[in-house]
Structure 1
Amino acid sequence: MNLSYRFLFLAVVLAAPVAAQESFRVELGRDGKTIGDMRPVFLKFESRPLPAISPAEVARRYQRLFENSDEPEVRVDALNRLTNIRDRSGQDVGYSPEQEPEIYEEVLGSYESILARGSFSGRLDELLYQMAKAHALTGEAGASIQRLKQLVGLYPNSPLVPEARFRIAESAFANGQFAEAETGYRALLEGEGGEALKAKARYMLGWSQFKQGEHAWERAAATFQAVLDGFLPTAESIRQVPESSVETIDDTLRVLALMASRTRGLATLDQWFDSGSVRPWEPLVFDRLADLYAITGKYEASVAVNEAFHRRYPQHASTPRFLAQIVEVWQMAGDDRKVRQARAGYVAAYSPDTAFSLLEPRGQSRWREYARWLADTSYEAATGLSDRGELESSLPLFAEAAGYYETLAPRAANAGPIWRLAGDARLQARQRREALENFRTAAYEAGNYSEAADAGWAAVVLQRDRVINEARTELELLAAEVDQFASTFETDARVPGAQADLATRWLEIENYNQAAAYAGAVLMRGDAATKEQYAAWLITARVRQAQQEFGLAERAWRQALRLIDSSEPEVLASDDRDLILKQLATSVYRQGERAAETGKVAEAVAHFRRVGQVLPEAEIAIRGRFDAANTLLKASEWQPAVNELQWFRRSYPNHHLARDIGEKLVYAYSQSGQPGRAADELLALASGQANPWPDKLRAAALYHEAGDTGQRDDLYIEYLATGPSPASAEDHILLQTMRHHLLVSARDPGKIRAAIVEAELASEWHSADTLQWSAASAIVLGSHAAAVFADIPLNHPLAESLDRKQSALEAARARFAQAERFGGEAVRSEILYRRAELYRELAQDLMASEVPAELNEMEAMQYQMLLEEEAYPFEEKALNLHAENHGRIAETGYDDWIGRSLEALARLHPGRYERSIRWMSGNAPEVNREEGDDA
């Protein structure tokens, strides 16, 4: 959209003898909603304040002087003063807005009279200036600009010239004469004038260049950069931008970003800016270009801009914000993977102590936020994999989470929890030595960490694990660890129970029989504390689970859960309850798997459903219901499987497993004899596909199988409307089959038949069916063309009507030729008959055509003889074609079309062919056509 200007010359009069020092306001429009609608800001020139007198009284006197004087100079001066009083006072005095055009129309004569005499007590440049304003107020913009041009040409040294040049250039800009406007603004900038006016001219010069198109954008870019150099010369000026300059600066940044985005993007910025130094406002251009790309959905380009700034100016104070903006761009794009990469990049860039210390407080806070988020999300993702039994896949993620926690902890206000998380992540990653150090740090070096005892206990457990997994000789290390724990946390209730962990150590070295024996011994003791019973049940459960005795494992987990639920919190902490529930759910799930493997369908389904009773909405419960459906599918229990699948999709519509439900339902419906419902399901699947047609065409086939021709045909019509081009014989046959099926229900079967014929003609592939359908369609189209041919009367003038009839004849012949090309011998008898009838009808119509009324009797007889001579070849042609059809009896046998040719021959040549003969042969091939086709 082109920028446009509206010049609004407010009524301002210059009070002598300082008239040239007063001025007026030029409104240049406002900013638009889009970059294409951008308007330059207005320029405002202030007047000096009026003296403290009654504006109404002074205006009344000047108005009377203007009306009563016959002197042009007096009238001009009075009107100027009158309007100046009203404009400066803000009061409604003097002439009304409705009167002004007439008054200024009248005063223009006075201006012209003064100018014509060449004598004026004041300055002629001021007079031209005021004439320009008068023309503007009376709506004569062109005349106003002409006066301003006179002023510039005649008085180039006048102090009014800069403003006049500005108005001339603005007029050219408003009229779309951008090159002329550019010249005007340049002249102003190169001449005299105030810096404020030059700043506005420089801004408008950039717009004039921008509006000339891409070929002038290099000049526009240089100009707009000069504008920013003027407004933002220092970093301090960016922080203290006057409110009146905000819009101009903002527009300048936007148009620079727009030009860069529409040319070569980053390459354009490289061309504009010196990579060795950075002007204070250059980061704003990078930022605006990145924002423009992001807003328009060009996320890759936006990220590239932010990264480019980081590469160009790695030490710049704004660089961290550009790296942070990469995170925001990918968040806008909804790309979680790249959001993570961007946050990881930010954390990596400022992980070194020297780099981190240079960050502003907000940047350091952002670094901590990103590091914690990366650590937490890595940990959650690893936990999810572990819960699903994908332990090996979880290890790198746990290690990654630990690395982030370890980097974050020294810079966190409360480091204890983070060191503990780091230890837990290392433990999950099977990096026990590193985990032990993290737990020790959390327990003994993190200050007033409220859960330091738990961290210390974790260290004890880890040390015990090392003894079991590595060498029994390391028991001394375990003892030292327990001693430190006991001395540091003397009152901890876990200290006296340490020896009860012997069974656990057997379990850790996978000596399940010994572990089960020791656990059983604990359970047999009547004086065993609740905690020891609980530990024993846990060991038993884990042993049974490890031995794949999942029923016994479930019993043990439930006993452990019962102890947790029935004990006071100070006896057994409930923190383990969720873990036990997960393990209990796992044991139930495994029983379902075992039953499914052994073909016990009902039992497997029951187990899979029970998982949800243990841990509702957990991932393993969701997977259990999914596996229940799969078990039913594998057992060919279609309707129960359908019910289970539908329940799953209703309950977990956003779960990733729900993506497969549609295909499974299609399979179940198809196998259970419900093709229509399978097709409905396929249509639902297709709605979410980038290319829905594979599923839609499968649905159409299923609708066909179900006998639902309405929905089938709707899909055929929709698909054919896309203009598919066959890439193989199968594609061609499929498309022709669609068209053939559509003939039954089509509102315009002729259009469908034409499409069948044209497709077959254009194709390099054919089949018996497609050729038969194409032949039948061509015959019907030819029959319709023959009917059109027959309906054309041969009227006077004969040549004109005969041309129309012959054109119709050729159209019918072409269709019949196509039919014979497709159908071959199967349709030849019919084609010969129809072609012969075309010529017979033409001959008959020629004979019956109208004789011109202006002919006398002799001329009419001669005309009729001429018609007979013209008709005779066509009748002979018809006779020969019918005879050729007759001759086919010996080759192919008799058929109805040969019989029709014999009847025609009997009429054309009764002496030879009018006989009573009955042909018995009925074996000749015939092309099938749809009900309602022409015979």
Structure 2
Amino acid sequence: MKRCLFVLAVLLLLNACALIGLGRQGIGKIPLSELEPTVEFVEEKEVEVPQSDIGSVDADQVISSYLRLMESPHGEVRRQAMRRLADLNMRLAEEKNAELAEGKTLESLPKAMRDSSYARAAELYQQVISDFPKQADDATIRYQLARALALDGRSDESLVELDNLADQHEQADELVEVQFRRGEAYFLRREYREAADAYKNVLSMGKDTEFYDKALYKNGWSRFKLFDYEGALENFFPLLERLKEGADVNEDVKMVTQELIKDTSRAISLSFYQLEGPTSVSRYFAEKGRTEYEHEIYDDLAALYLKQERFQDAAKTYDAFVQQNPLHPKAAFFQLNVIKTYVEGGFPSLVLPAKESFLKQFGVKSEYWTQADDNLKATLKPNVITNLEEVSSHYHAKAQREKSKSSYLVAADWYSHFLELSQDEKDVAPYHFLMAEAFYDAKEYQRAIKEFDIIAYQYQTYAKREQAAYNILLAYQALEQQTDPKNVAAINQYKEQTINYTLLYAEYFPESQRSAELLLRASEQLLTFNRVDESIQASEKLLALPGVKKKELTDRAKVIIANGLFDQKKYKEAEQALSRVLVEVTLKPKDRQEFQERRAESIFKQAEAFQEAKQIDLAIAEYQRLISVEPNSSIRPKAEIEAAVLLMQQEKWQEAKNALEGFRGRFSQHPLAEGLDERLAFVYEKLSLWSDAASAYQRIASKTKDPNKAREIQWYVADLYLKAGNSSAAIVAFKTYYDKHKEPFVQSMEAQAKLVELYQKAGNDSQVTFWRNKIVSSYRTAGAKNTDRTRYLAAQSAFELAEPMYEQFKQIKLTLPLNKSLPRKRAMMDKALKAYGDIGKFKVAEFTTASTHRVGELYLNLAKDIINSERPPGMSELELEEYQYLIEDQAFPIEEKAIEIFSSNSGRAAQSIYDEWVKKSFEALSGLQPARYNKQELIESWFGGS
């Protein structure tokens, strides 16, 4: 089986030699072993041995065959046998070394293998060249000779052969291998200039040779050894790129390639290390262009610095890549390496700035994070969180120590990064709370409020939600305190916000121990803004809170509700709330009285509402309920009056009477008692309680300052007593009227007339006479004040006063002696005549005819009494006859006078006066002069009689 001419074997010489130098205290030296290539190339030439046509034979037989052929007289046969014998020795020597390496003993090997050696092969190759110079395969044989010498440890002789081969066979197929071998030989001899020239010759033969990559590698190292670091890089970088392009070859070669890549990268790092470190790297890529493995170069260089404990240089290297490639996916991790380096190197003062730099360049608010894919973000997230925690905590702690606003704000800003990292409450909330606290401590209250609001009312499970809600209230309180007292608008705005957030707090955290007190405070503040309805609602929420609450808080809430409803004129609800206060709240006597007054007013207002709605019965019921519920309230009198008035409107007279009388009995001196008697009087009249009405009117009259009204009422009082049939009271009323009201005169006269009438009914003749005389006397002194009515009353009284005289006159009988009885009768007649005669002066036809008729009757009665008078005893018939004539003579003129008077009175008929008395005069005349006056029916027909 034919094998490849060269097989790449890798001998790894990596070791962990300790660094030599000053460590962190200075620039250490890299051990020489670290400055050597770690990959060596050893090639073995496969010797081709022609297959025999005979069956398989062993090596000894082959060797014997070649040795016999070497004795052939034919030169070419001898040359070929000699060459093949040399190749066989090379192969057997290689196999022998392999067998021995596996642990076999020399004695166990076949004789041909035991006897083979690289020295024997070299000897045979040299013989071929010497015996048969300048043959076509001379270059190949010479190369094999050089190789055998090298494997035999005769490197100097081998190099001479390679040099000669290169000089003498410039066109040989093996030249690329020869040049590479020369380079390898010179490199081992540390003759780096010659090695570099040889490797360069290999490179000049094109990229397609199998030695191109090896030459790049070793040429780079040669230049490195010659301190031509930039020249070394010109080899290492192209090699690195070629190796990376072929990294996905079969597994046998892949491992070797990876090791070569690794060492090439190391060589590049060493080169930059010897130059200006990261500065040189940055400059190189700036000139040559960016590559996808650029970060590996920086990383390897940094690793080299770290191995030397040159921590700051390592950090600078990582940072250089970051600065040159800020958006590279690896940039963030390099910055993390900067942090790690400072930590490991013991540079605490540099760690925090490095972490800040990491967060600013690669954190959630960076352009880097914005353009990063989800996988990259997921990888970076734990590091971002860790560094955020440390940086934010540092500034927060610093701010708390120094009370520094700027540090608080810095801490808050760092905390804000957490909010970008996750939408999960459990991850974000703790940092969000710290951020809000930092704003609060920095006195940035508005910003704190904004964040606490989210924490309190958007998060669902965070343990400090309630505290966040409470902190909002503290923040607004702080804003209020720091505001200029003159800026009332701003202060009020903060107060209103405090109220709103207090209500929200209680809604979200009803079981909090703070809720009740906060709600009460909000309720009271709402009152200062006249937001009564909201104040009531807040107090109701307080009462509805679960759990046990302090009584002083609930008491105050109940008071606010009651007062608020009352102030809002929601009287029905207010009454209920006030009743609750009076029953459940501990009150001072003065306060209790005030609430009772308010409850009474609430009921009163409900009654008024029914009244306005024309629901009178309901209104009455409410007024009466007020009296029952709050009997001692100041508004009770008004309620009683209102109820009474409505009862009057409803014509519920008996109930109205009871209400009004009750009010009068309790509140007669109350201002609302004004007009009470008027109402009572009206109700009494409706109930026909005339005496009660009269009493009421009397009270009215006694209080009125209007004399005319008092006079009218007094008259009405008297009339009411008349209606009541209470004559004695009526007499008193009319007498009172007469005594107090002489004017108007006509009414005064009427009062006297009423008294005459009442006394007459009472049978009190003396008072009748007294008041009739009063009437006549009043008339006579009134002069021009008199009217037809007063004249009539006076005429009537005068006539009635004369009538008793007439009766007395009639009662006087003429008895013997006449000279004694007749003068008495005449005297009474004269008195009566005068009285009746004066009546005519009144010129009242009714009483003029009556008095005229009475005068006629006086004369007629006297005449009859004379004629019928008692005769003296003992007179003879003649004497009696003469006495009769004498009496008649005495009576006749008197009778004639009577006839004359009757005639005069009846003559008034011609004046269209025909009353009772004129009629009586006619009747009297018809009896006295029948022939002339016995035509009564005709006379009556003249005046419409029947």
Bin the TM-score by the shorter chain: 0.3 to 0.5
Q: TM-score, normalised by structure 1?
A: 0.46
Structure label with greater radius of gyration: 2
Q: TM-score, normalised by structure 2?
A: 0.45
